């Protein structure tokens, strides 16, 4: 396992290239979010996605949330939402709000479902990575049923043999998990109350 500071990653084209290449080949990273650390794999890469499920002990049928950095990345992900409806969420984002949207066809992270849960994270340094790396999964870096982790040293102690790179952003804020809203129905339905107060502005 390599450990790279988030500032070094964002300031080095070589590190960014290495990071993108790793994930494209089924690699597994851990990144800091606006709440806790998260397992990051390329969401259409079956090998990387399988590593997350094996490591977490997560129910294979349960989709993984996805983080993105640019609006244009949602189209490449296959998200199908009317522009005016999408505009509403971009008046809120970046924020600890995860939204479920329909997609054209299932991908590895959606586990056979024709919908994905996406978020433009509130953490600016993470958004900078996502803008160049493309979308990444954003499920908490822990064993299923265990507490989420805010300390990079704890991530390393638990997972150093199982992940390829730890992006060190220091201690994350922790707190409540992100709010999850299902926008495949109208009106949208809250699936999990969390850090963002819904309905949004």
Q: Is residue 199 in some structural domain?
A: no
Strand pairing report for 2-5 and 29-32: unpaired
| 95 inside domain | yes
Residue 62: CATH number of its domain: 3.90.870.10
- Kindly state whether residue 201 falls inside one of the protein's structural domains: no
* Total number of domains constituting the chain: 1
Is 197 domain-assigned?
Answer: no
Q: Is residue 200 in some structural domain?
A: no
Domain with 71 in it: 2-192
Please check whether residue 114 lies inside any domain of the structure. yes
139 is a domain residue? yes
Q: What is the pLDDT along the chain (201 residues), one digit of tens a residue?
A: 999 999 999 999 999 999 999 999 999 999 999 999 999 999 999 999 999 999 999 988 899 999 999 999 999 999 999 999 999 999 999 999 999 999 999 999 999 999 999 999 999 999 999 999 999 999 999 999 999 999 999 999 999 999 999 999 999 999 999 999 999 999 999 999 999 998 854
DSSP conformation class of 112: T
Q: What is the pTM of this model?
A: 0.95
Residue 126 lies inside a defined structural domain of this protein = yes
């Amino acid at each position: 396992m390599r450990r790279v500071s988030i500032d070094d990653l964002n300031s080095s084209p070589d590190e960014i290239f290495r990071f993108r290449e790793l994930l494209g080949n089924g690699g597994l990273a851990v990144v800091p979010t606006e709440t806790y650390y998260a397992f990051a794999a390329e969401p259409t890469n079956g090998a990387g996605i399988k590593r997350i499920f094996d490591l977490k002990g997560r129910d294979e049928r349960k989709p993984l949330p996805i983080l993105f950095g640019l609006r244009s990345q949602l189209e490449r992900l296959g998200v199908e939402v009317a522009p005016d409806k999408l505009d509403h969420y971009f008046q809120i984002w970046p924020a600890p709000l995860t939204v479920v949207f329909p997609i054209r066809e299932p991908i590895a992270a959606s586990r056979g479902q024709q919908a994905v849960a996406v978020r433009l994270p509130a953490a600016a340094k993470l958004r900078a990575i996502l803008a160049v790396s493309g979308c990444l999964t954003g499920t908490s870096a822990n064993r299923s049923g265990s507490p989420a982790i805010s300390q990079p040293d704890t991530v390393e102690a638990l997972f150093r043999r199982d992940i390829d790179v730890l992006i060190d952003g220091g201690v994350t804020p922790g707190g409540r998990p992100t709010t999850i809203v299902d926008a495949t129905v109208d009106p949208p339905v809250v699936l999990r109350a969390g850090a963002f107060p819904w309905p949004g502005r």
